[in-house]
Amino acid sequence: MDPARLRLLRELGDRGSIAAVAAAMGVSASAVSQQIAALQAGIPVPLTVKRGRRLVLTEAGEALAVAATRVEVAFADARDALGLFLGGDERPVRVSAFHSAGLALFGPLLAELGAGPRVSLADADVAQEAFAGLTADYDLVVAHRLAHDPEWPRQRLVVTPLLVEPLDIALHAEHPLAAAPSIRLEQLRDERWISTHDGFPLAGVLAQLGAMIGQSPRIDHRINEFSVAAQVVRAGAGIAVMPRMTAAPLAVDGMVLRPIIDVPLVRHVDALARPDAIALSPVRAVLAALRTVAARAAAGTSDATGGR
């Protein structure tokens, strides 16, 4: 089997379409199709199947893509070993994070690394199902999911937990519920909400709360950026679910955060990476620094809120 063709099959599984693979690899879509067809010619079972307009991997294709990952890890090990003799890899470690994680972690990460490996940072706030695919373009992807959401596809990814972050309710400081240190679930009935867009992890929190209350939440606004949502909260135009650590700096000028005491609400913040990315020493060094700053941020927030 040609390693280059195996790589294309793996890319198809991660990127989701022939066109996306072609764009990423800098070749034509027809060239990608021809190479995958050539790989298929030597395999007695289907590796791909048409689903609508898209070409997706079959179960056999997925298994071969996972095997292709092991080939890529071997190549990465070889590059890493050679890099030790050549003075290291000059390419920066590419790190993406959703907006609120970038706000909380990017600055401390750069300080923690100091003169260590260079990084190239990017914000990538995507729907939950798209986080895994970002590992095709970034060495480390900081992603989040709710506790009841499906786990990341560990057969293709290395998943490193960074923190478990409590979720609070953001309120106008003059809201009747803001007077108490915490909120009961039943008290949220008939509230007007600010939600993230559908498909993003925190939108699922409102669906979960609505099911528990027995009433669909009234969503007046859909805003992904927490700093923008905070402005709407301060105007008294709704309440919102916000993560405790990353929203703490926003809880000023008329906005407060209050926990729900009878429902444990948390989100999991994880670092996702392809196994061949983790095989590289600079990536492992950046991941270690990322774990350090995430642990420090989580501990600092817990201290600041009295361990709520």
* CATH number, residue 230: 3.40.190.290
> How much of the chain exceeds pLDDT 90, in percent?
45
Are residue 295 and residue 255 in the same domain, yes or no?
no
- pLDDT band at residue 85 under the 50/70/90 scheme: low
Are residue 250 and residue 174 in the same domain, yes or no?
yes
Are residue 135 and residue 271 in the same domain, yes or no?
yes
Instruction: Give me the pLDDT at residue 39, please.
Output: 87
Statement: residue 154 has pLDDT above 80: no
Kindly report the CA angle at 229 between 266 and 162, in degrees rounded to 5? 30
Instruction: Give me the pLDDT at residue 54, please.
Output: 79
Are residue 246 and residue 190 in the same domain, yes or no?
yes
Are residue 188 and residue 47 in the same domain, yes or no?
no
Are residue 243 and residue 288 in the same domain, yes or no?
no
Task: Look at 43 and 270; give whichever has higher pLDDT.
Answer: 270
Statement: residue 118 has pLDDT above 80: yes
Task: Give the tens place of pLDDT for each residue, 237-284.
Answer: 999 999 998 788 899 999 999 999 988 899 999 999 999 899 888 999
Task: Look at 155 and 280; give whichever has higher pLDDT.
Answer: 280
Point out the domain boundary residue: 55, 86, 117.
86
Are residue 160 and residue 188 in the same domain, yes or no?
no
Q: Which domain holds residue 118?
A: 93-164+267-304
Are residue 157 and residue 31 in the same domain, yes or no?
no
Task: Give the tens place of pLDDT for each residue, 95-108.
Answer: 999 988 998 899 99
* CATH number, residue 17: 1.10.10.10
- pLDDT band at residue 304 under the 50/70/90 scheme: very low
Are residue 174 and residue 256 in the same domain, yes or no?
yes
* CATH number, residue 158: 3.40.190.10
Are residue 49 and residue 77 in the same domain, yes or no?
yes
- As for how many domains the chain has, the answer is 3
Are residue 145 and residue 279 in the same domain, yes or no?
yes
* Average pLDDT of the segment spanning 127-138: 89
Task: Look at 300 and 239; give whichever has higher pLDDT.
Answer: 239
Statement: residue 25 has pLDDT above 70: yes
Task: Look at 204 and 181; give whichever has higher pLDDT.
Answer: 181
